[in-house]
C-alpha cells in the first residue's frame, strides 16, 4: 500500500512568525546574516565556505551569468553560473568573475616593448581595460618593464605602428609595491602618491598583480563583498550528471569556488555517481552541493553520498510546471520543515552539520525570513534576481511597462534536458518550465538592500540577531484563509499615490 502523509503540503504563505522578546541590542544594524554553505563539524571547526548574506542565484540561463555573479558577490551573496551551455563558455564566465576584482588583480592585458599602438588599441577593445602591462615576454607574470595607460598616447597624433617602448611609462618612473605588501599598504601608496594603478612585483621583478584606486571606492560601497583569500570574488558553478567528468575539471581550473549539481530531482544514483567522482578525484578540496529533495529520505541519501549542501524543493519555482506535468513535488514549507528536521537528526548522530538551501516557493520578501526560520541556511532565487539590471536577459516594453525575460531550464527555449535526466535518451521530451516575463525592478544592490532590511527587521521582532538563533528560537503559526485577508489592506478605499 502506498504511503500517505498525514499533513497537507504547505506553502510559506500559510505561516506567520510570532514576535519574541526584543532587547535594546536587538536592532537591525546588529543583525548578522552570515551563514555556512558547506558542511562542517559544528562546534569543532569553521565552515570551509560561508556567505555574508543568505541569498544565492539560481543555476539558470536567464539568471546567473558572470555579471550577476559579480553584482551578487559585491553584496555578500553567491551565484551559480548556469551549466546549460558549453563547458568552454561556462568556464570563461567563471574566469571572468575571478579576474574581475578587487584588491590584487592579475593582469589580463599584456604586451612586449616591441608591440605597437595598434596592439594596445586592439587589447583595449577586447578586454575593455585601459591599463596594459609591458613585460619582457608579453605574459602576465613576465618581468615588468613598464606600463601603458590612456594618458600615454594620443591616437590622433601617433602612428598605429609606433612601438610600445617609444611611449610607455618605464619602470624607473613607476611607484610599485613588493610581493609581501598588504592591501591596506597598497591603498596607502595609491593615495599618498595620487596613483590610479599600483603594480605589485615579486623579488625578481616579475609582475604579480595590479591594485586599482577605483577598487578602493568599490570596497567602501560594498562592505559585505564576498572574497577569497586573494581578494577575488567567490563564484559557484552548476554541473549536470552527464558530462561532469569533463565539465568539473574545467570549472575548477577556471577558479570555481563551489559546485552545485543542477537537477530537478536529487534522490538518484546519478547524483551519487557525480559526487563519487569529485571525492575520488579531489577528495574534500572541491565542494559540491546536491539536490533537489523534499523529504527525510532524500536528504539522508545525499548526506550519506557526501554532499556539501543539499537543495530543497521540487515544483515550487514560478516558471516550473513539474507538478502540473508529472504530479510530483511538495509544498515548499513542508519540504523545508521536514528536511531541516532530518538535517538536525543527522547532526546529532554524526556531529556533521550539512547546510540546506531552500530553492523555490519565494513569492514575497517575508517568505525568505520564513524559510530561514524553518531551518534553511540560505535561499536560492531565480525570479527574484531575473528582474534586475545585472541578469543576462533583455529588458523589453510590454504594453507600456518595462519587463525582463525569464524562462525555465525545462522550457523549450532553454532545452536543458540534462537537468531532468533520468538516464534515458538525450533530449527534452516534454516541457517542465515556461517562457515568461517578470516586472523590471532596477539594480540588484538597491533591491537586495531593501529585501534584507525587511529580513533584519523581522529577525529583531523575533528577538534574534543571527540566522542560527532564528532557527532555534522562532515561533511559527499556521494561518487560515480569512486571516490572510486580514493581514493585508482591507475594508478601505486605497488612494492612488503613484504620482506623488
Catalytic residues: 320, 419
- How far apart, in whole angstroms, are the C-alpha atoms of residue 93 and residue 251? 10
Residues 97, 99, 100, 103, CA torsion sign: positive
Spatial CA neighbour of 343 closest among 383, 308, 319: 308
Spatial CA neighbour of 257 closest among 321, 190, 308: 308
- How far apart, in whole angstroms, are the C-alpha atoms of residue 280 and residue 261? 17
Written as nine digits, the cell of 206 is 616579475
303-334 b/e (C-beta count within 10 Å ≥ 16 → b): bebbbbbbbbbbbbbbbbbbbeeeeebbbbbb
- Tell how strand 110-111 and strand 310-312 pair up: unpaired
Spatial CA neighbour of 360 closest among 293, 315, 323, 299: 315
Residue 185 CB neighbours (<10 A) = 14
Residues 209, 213, 214, 215, CA torsion sign: positive
Q: Please, are residues 149 and 156 in contact by the beta-carbon 8 Å criterion?
A: no
- How far apart, in whole angstroms, are the C-alpha atoms of residue 157 and residue 112? 22
Residue 476 CB neighbours (<10 A) = 16
- How far apart, in whole angstroms, are the C-alpha atoms of residue 87 and residue 90? 5
DSSP states along 402-463: EEEEEE-TTSTTT--GGGG--SSSSS-SS-SB-EEEEE--B-HHHHHHHHHHHHHHHHHHTT
Q: Please, are residues 57 and 75 in contact by the beta-carbon 8 Å criterion?
A: no
Alpha-carbon Rg for the chain, nearest whole angstrom, is 25
The SS3 of residue 408 is coil
The SS3 of residue 35 is strand
DSSP states along 52-114: SSSEEE-S-TTT-SHHHHHHHHHHT-EEEE--SS-HHHHHHHHHHHHHH-SSSB--S-EE-TT
Q: Please, are residues 92 and 254 in contact by the beta-carbon 8 Å criterion?
A: yes
Amino acid at each position: 500500500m502506498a504511503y500517505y502523509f498525514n499533513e497537507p503540503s504547505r506553502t510559506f504563505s500559510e505561516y506567520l512568525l510570532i514576535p519574541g522578546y526584543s532587547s535594546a541590542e536587538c536592532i537591525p544594524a546588529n543583525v548578522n546574516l552570515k551563514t555556512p554553505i558547506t558542511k562542517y563539524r559544528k562546534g569543532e571547526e569553521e565552515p570551509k565556505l560561508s556567505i555574508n548574506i543568505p541569498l544565492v542565484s539560481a543555476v539558470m540561463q536567464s539568471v546567473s551569468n558572470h555579471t550577476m555573479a559579480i553584482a551578487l558577490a559585491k553584496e555578500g551573496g553567491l551565484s551559480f553560473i548556469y551549466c546549460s551551455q558549453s563547458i568552454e563558455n561556462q568556464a570563461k564566465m567563471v574566469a571572468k568573475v575571478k579576474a574581475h576584482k578587487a584588491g590584487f588583480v592579475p593582469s589580463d592585458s599584456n604586451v612586449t616593448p616591441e608591440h605597437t599602438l595598434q596592439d594596445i588599441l586592439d587589447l583595449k577593445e577586447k578586454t575593455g581595460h585601459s591599463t596594459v602591462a609591458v613585460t619582457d615576454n608579453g605574459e602576465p607574470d613576465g618581468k615588468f618593464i613598464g606600463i601603458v595607460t590612456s594618458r600615454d598616447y594620443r591616437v590622433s597624433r601617433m602612428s598605429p605602428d609606433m612601438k610600445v617602448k617609444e611611449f610607455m611609462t618605464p619602470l624607473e618612473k613607476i611607484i610599485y609595491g613588493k610581493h609581501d605588501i598588504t592591501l591596506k599598504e597598497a591603498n596607502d601608496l595609491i593615495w599618498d602618491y595620487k596613483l590610479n594603478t599600483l603594480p605589485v612585483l615579486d623579488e625578481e621583478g616579475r609582475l604579480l598583480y595590479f591594485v586599482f584606486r577605483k577598487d578602493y571606492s568599490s570596497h567602501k560601497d560594498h562592505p559585505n563583498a564576498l572574497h577569497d583569500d586573494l581578494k577575488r570574488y567567490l563564484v559557484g558553478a552548476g554541473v549536470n550528471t552527464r558530462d561532469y567528468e569533463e565539465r568539473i575539471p574545467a570549472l575548477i581550473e577556471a577558479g570555481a569556488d563551489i559546485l552545485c549539481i543542477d537537477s530537478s530531482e536529487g534522490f538518484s544514483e546519478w547524483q551519487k555517481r557525480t559526487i563519487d567522482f569529485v571525492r575520488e578525484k579531489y577528495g574534500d578540496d572541491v565542494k559540491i552541493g546536491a539536490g533537489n529533495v523534499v523529504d527525510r529520505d532524500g536528504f539522508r541519501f545525499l548526506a550519506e553520498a557526501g554532499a556539501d549542501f543539499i537543495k530543497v524543493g521540487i515544483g515550487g519555482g514560478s516558471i516550473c510546471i513539474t507538478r502540473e506535468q508529472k504530479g510530483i513535488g511538495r509544498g515548499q514549507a513542508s519540504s523545508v520543515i521536514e528536511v531541516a528536521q532530518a538535517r538536525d537528526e543527522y547532526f546529532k548522530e554524526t556531529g556533521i552539520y550539512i547546510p540546506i538551501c531552500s530553492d523555490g516557493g519565494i513569492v514575497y520578501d517575508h517568505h525568505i525570513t520564513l524559510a530561514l526560520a524553518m531551518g534553511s541556511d540560505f535561499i536560492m532565487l531565480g525570479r527574484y534576481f531575473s528582474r534586475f539590471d545585472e541578469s543576462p536577459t533583455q529588458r523589453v516594453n510590454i504594453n507600456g511597462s518595462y519587463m525582463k525575460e525569464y524562462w525555465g531550464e525545462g522550457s523549450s527555449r532553454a532545452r536543458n534536458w540534462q537537468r531532468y535526466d533520468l538516464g534515458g535518451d538525450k533530449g527534452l521530451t516534454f516541457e517542465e518550465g515556461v517562457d515568461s516575463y517578470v516586472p523590471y525592478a532596477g539594480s540588484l544592490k538597491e533591491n537586495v538592500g531593501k529585501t534584507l532590511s525587511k529580513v533584519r527587521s523581522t529577525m529583531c521582532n523575533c528577538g534574534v540577531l543571527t540566522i542560527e538563533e532564528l532557527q532555534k528560537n522562532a515561533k511559527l503559526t499556521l494561518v487560515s484563509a480569512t486571516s490572510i485577508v486580514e493581514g493585508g489592506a482591507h475594508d478601505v478605499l486605497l488612494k492612488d499615490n503613484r504620482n506623488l
